[in-house]
Every structure is written in structure tokens, then in C-alpha cells.
Chain A
Amino acid sequence: MPKTFEEFPGVEWVEGAGEFIKIDEDKCSGCAGCVKVCLAGCYEISKKKARIKSLEKCMECAACWFVCTEGAIDFSWPPGGTGYRSDWG
């Protein structure tokens, strides 16, 4: 069964997306740009480095990847048929 969240009605997350966003800690400057642009709250700063808390509400917009000028965020699409879906986009 796809996951849903009260905070984001009308959107479903199909399981199996896996870790499609990764952070290279060595490159991360801890600027928190990713935290500031993520509407799903996927990121936190821990010990001056960005860390992914959870991708379970990620809508795959890649704002974090665009804003990371250090190139510390590796973004790729999740496997076909997994991740978010909506009838109302």
C-alpha cells in the first residue's frame, strides 16, 4: 500500500524508492541551503553537516540538489514506479 501523510493530502508515496539522494559529507559545507528549500523536511544539520532524516515525504523536486553549489548532493530519480504520485498536479 502506498504511504500517505496528513500534512500532504492528495499525494501517495509508492514504496521502493530507496536512497535516491545521497550526501557527500566531505563536500558539504554545512550551509543548510538544502534544509531551507526542502518543503518535505527531509534534511537536518548535524555536527555542521547536512544529513538526510528521511526521504519518505520527498516529492523529487531536487531543489536541494540545485541549491547545493558544493556538489555535495547526489540526486537521481528513484526506480520507475516508486516514489510520489498524485492525481492533482
Chain B
Amino acid sequence: MGLIPVADNYDVLVVGAGFGGPVAAKRCADAGLKTLMVERAGVPGEKVVSGLVIPIYGFLFGPDFIRDGNPPIERPICSVVNRMVKGGQIFDTDRSLKVPKPVALGYATYCKPFCTWLADRAVDSGAELRTATTAVDVITEDGRVSGIVTDSGERIRSTIVIDSGGTQNQLSIKAGLRKKFIPEAIELYMLWDFEMTKEDVDSVFGNSMEFFHAMPEENIGAPLGYGSTLYFFTYRNSIHPGLGQFLVTRGETPNVARLLREYFDNFTDKVERWKREIAPRVKLRSVLWDVCPIYAGLLEETREMPIYGDGLLIIGDAAGFEASAFGDGVPNAWFSAEIAADVAIEAVRRGDISRSVLAAYEERIKAHPFIMHTITDFRRWDMRRLLLTRDEAEFKRKVRDHWGIGAFRYGNMGGPCMKAARDMIKQNPTVIRSWVNMFRRYFKNWENESFDRLSTDQR
């Protein structure tokens, strides 16, 4: 039962070279599996949009090669500054979430260079990469997925397919495993990329990222019942403000396209910090948007959708592993990629890819210290409720609990980090040295701009 002759072209086929795909591909290739990544963009990451500070737990407890490597980062983020806005004035600033340099809470990065760096590492390990290739369907035989069909009609066979195709998740739907996310789970976010000299970013923001929170009537990104906070990601020579809005709230679709622009215009028209300290120093470089399944884990309907099937494992945003607290799914993409790779390696080695073997994927995802905790974090939901009830004092307190010092006490930076750290140290005490080295090396790399060369640099 479930035994199949190993006559396939590839052992593992990874669909999508964003943040998760290359991690899975590298791990499979390192284990000697014949591995192929297909990516619809011409260059990995150039179709990935995310205002992005990757939380530190991804680096501490994710893939060793990232922790021990030299990926291109834009800025180490050592503190989160929460500003409460009323009438365009900042009336309260919370700086309680901070760590001393070179320790960081996360690293800011652009998607394209980081995803390219990840894909380069997978290729170094022997995985093949086909860019400008869209997977349009799965090959299904005897009820199991056994490969993909590309946009040129080519059929590529593989023992196991890993779907890391992102939120829009075409492949797992084609395979009949999942449905598209319901719109209540989806946030549409818009980003503005501004050039700003490093000296100016250093003096205005330092190694901080900033959130601007307000009661709904301010209309700067947190209107009644809708949307979320306006945030500033800080990069090396640029800043990256953005805001998001849910596609459906209380059964209705607001005019998201108009509102996102209105909030940002209101912010830049009204808020003194922007007008005085930031606007004179910046030049608009890009405007972008995308969606993410930020509430997928909070809604039973989306949380309970299958994450594996016969011959198919689903990772990252495609599986709904988006962190609702910080709105950043990259660590979960990395964690789930490693788990999927391990399950695939085990299955291929045993020559048994039956559902019962692949079921280990779901078991390990559910036992992971971060994934389920981060996708089911209801505090962001609670904050929307406080906006509805206009309880400003309680909202302020929740901001502090959520994105201030409370992140250590209640959030992802607290319990799950402690548990993961304890487990890893018990297994291998020298990991502490790797963490210390990582903090130092990442900071030094950032100061000296001494990252690994990318395959795209050599062209």
C-alpha cells in the first residue's frame, strides 16, 4: 500500500521561489534528493511584495544556513516605537519594546534580493531553478499528485510536490485540496517606498520601526472597524510606510482602493512628524500592493483547510501560516518549509509517500512552538474591537501589550521564544554561540554592506 516505483523525474518539485520554497528546496537537495524549483517571476522575489521586517525568531529558530549566512538586509531593527496620534499631533509615544545593539528584534529587507539569496543557496546545494515558469496545474494519477503542468504545457513529474505558491495558492486549489481563502481572512495592503539618505534615516528613525495608531475619526489607517495601523519600515537608504485593510468587515466590502489612498493622504496632510521631519527628506520611488491571509488562522473555516494531500505538501502563506500578530509570515514559511522538507525526505527514502506518512507534516506543524501560536493570536482582532468601542485608554494599553514590552510577556517574542530556545539549547548548547555570532555578523555586515554577492549581480 502506497509503495510506488521511483521512476519519477524529480524526487521533489517546489512551486514558488519566494521565502519558503528555496528553504524547502535547499534542505531536500542537501539530503541528496533530486529537486526542482519553479518560479513564475523572471528573478526570484521580484513579484513578492511585503513591507518587511522579518521577526528575529525566524532567524534564531529557522534554517541554520540563514542564521549562519550573510543575506542582504536593509537594517537591523532594534526597537519598535508606537505613536498615538490625535489631530495630527503625537500625544503619546511608547518605546518600551527595544533591545541593545547588536541584538535585534528583526531585520528589514527588500523581497527581491532576499529571495534571490535564498534561491542561490538552494541552487548551491544542487537544486535546479526554473524561473519565468508558471505552474498552471497538477498532474494527478491514481488520486495522488505526481507532478505539475507548466504554462508551456510541459509535464514535469515528481514524487512529491511542495506548494509554496503564496496566498493566491492556485495549485492546491487545482489539486482539489483547498479552496480560496474567504475574503474575511484577507488583508489588502499598500506600500509606498521612499528614498531617504542613510544619514537621514539614522537621525530620524535610527534602528527603529514606527507604528502610528489613532482612533477611527483620524482616518490615518485605523478607521472604525476596518483596517489596521499605519507603519513605517526603515531600510538602509529608504523608508517603507504602508497600511492594510480587510477585504470584508462585518459582511461588507468597503471601497478599499479609495480608503487606502485616503488614509495615507490624510496621514501625510495632517501628521506633524511626517510634515516636519520626514517629508522634506524623502522622494517617492515606488507604490505597490498585495494581499496576505492575515486572519486565516483566526477563522476556523480557513484554519481547518488541509495542508497536505497525497503527494502534496503546502507551506507558508499558501497554507495560511501568516502571523496575525505582526502580519509577517516569513518565519512561518521558513519553519513549515523545513518541516515539509524533512517529511518529504523521509517519505522518498522509505519509498512510501502515502497519506499516512505525509500526515507527519500536519502533526509536526501543530506541535511547532511558533506556527499555531502566531496564526491564532487574537490580540490584533481584539484591538479592532477596541477601535469599534472607542476605548482609547484600553487601546493604548493594548498597543503596549501587543507591539510594546508586552510582546515579550504575551507575544511571539515571549513564551514561544523561551520554549524554542530551551529546546534548542538542550539539543545543542553551542547554538548559543551561533546566535551571538549571528547578531554580531548581521550588524557588521549591515554597517559594512558586506553581504554575499547575488547571482543577479554577476549578470
Contacts of A33 in B (CB 8 A): 183, 253
Q: How far is the CA of A59 from the CA of B287 in the complex (A)?
A: 11
Least CB distance, B354 to chain A, in whole angstroms = 30
Q: A61-B188, A80-B131, A86-B46 are in contact. Are A10 and B253 (CB under 8 A)?
A: no
Least CB distance, A81 to chain B, in whole angstroms = 3
- Do A11 and B286 touch across chains, with their CB atoms under 8 A apart? yes
- Do B110 and A39 touch across chains, with their CB atoms under 8 A apart? no
Q: Restricting to B102-139, which residues have a CB under 8 Å from any CB of A?
A: 110-112, 131-134, 136
- Do A63 and B286 touch across chains, with their CB atoms under 8 A apart? no
- Do A81 and B41 touch across chains, with their CB atoms under 8 A apart? yes
Judged by a CB distance under 8 angstroms, whether A48 is at the interface is no
Q: A36-B256, A37-B256, A67-B247 are in contact. Are A7 and B46 (CB under 8 A)?
A: no
Judged by a CB distance under 8 angstroms, whether A44 is at the interface is no
Question: Using a Cβ cutoff of 8 Å, how many contacts connect chains A and B?
Answer: 137
- Do B288 and A36 touch across chains, with their CB atoms under 8 A apart? no
Which of B132, B191, B260 touches A80 (beta carbons < 8 Å)?
A: B132
Binding-face segment, B20-28, B47-55, B363-371, B376-384 = B47-55
Judged by a CB distance under 8 angstroms, whether B40 is at the interface is yes
Q: How large is the interface on A (under 10, 10 to 19, 20 to 34, 35 or more residues)?
A: 35 or more
- Do B256 and A63 touch across chains, with their CB atoms under 8 A apart? yes
Judged by a CB distance under 8 angstroms, whether B33 is at the interface is no
- Do B253 and A85 touch across chains, with their CB atoms under 8 A apart? no
Q: Restricting to B273-327, which residues have a CB under 8 Å from any CB of A?
A: 284-291
Mark interface residues in A73-89 (1 if CB within 8 Å of B CB, else 0).
Answer: 00111111101111111
Q: A39-B188, A80-B40 are in contact. Are A63 and B247 (CB under 8 A)?
A: yes
Least CB distance, A71 to chain B, in whole angstroms = 9
* Interface size, chain B (Cβ < 8 Å): 50
Q: How far is the CA of A39 from the CA of B42 in the complex (A)?
A: 24
Which of A10, A35, A75 touches B285 (beta carbons < 8 Å)?
A: A10
Q: A61-B188, A81-B41 are in contact. Are A69 and B257 (CB under 8 A)?
A: no
Q: A9-B285, A69-B183, A87-B46 are in contact. Are A37 and B247 (CB under 8 A)?
A: yes
Contacts of A60 in B (CB 8 A): 47, 168
- Do B170 and A76 touch across chains, with their CB atoms under 8 A apart? yes
Which of B168, B253, B255, B284 touches A65 (beta carbons < 8 Å)?
A: B168
- Do B136 and A77 touch across chains, with their CB atoms under 8 A apart? yes
Judged by a CB distance under 8 angstroms, whether B403 is at the interface is no
Contacts of B188 in A (CB 8 A): 37, 39, 61, 63
Q: How far is the CA of A88 from the CA of B108 in the complex (A)?
A: 12
Q: How far is the CA of A37 from the CA of B258 in the complex (A)?
A: 8
- Do B257 and A89 touch across chains, with their CB atoms under 8 A apart? no
Identify the A interface with B (CB < 8 A): 7-11, 14, 31, 33, 35-39, 41, 59-63, 65-67, 69, 75-81, 83-89
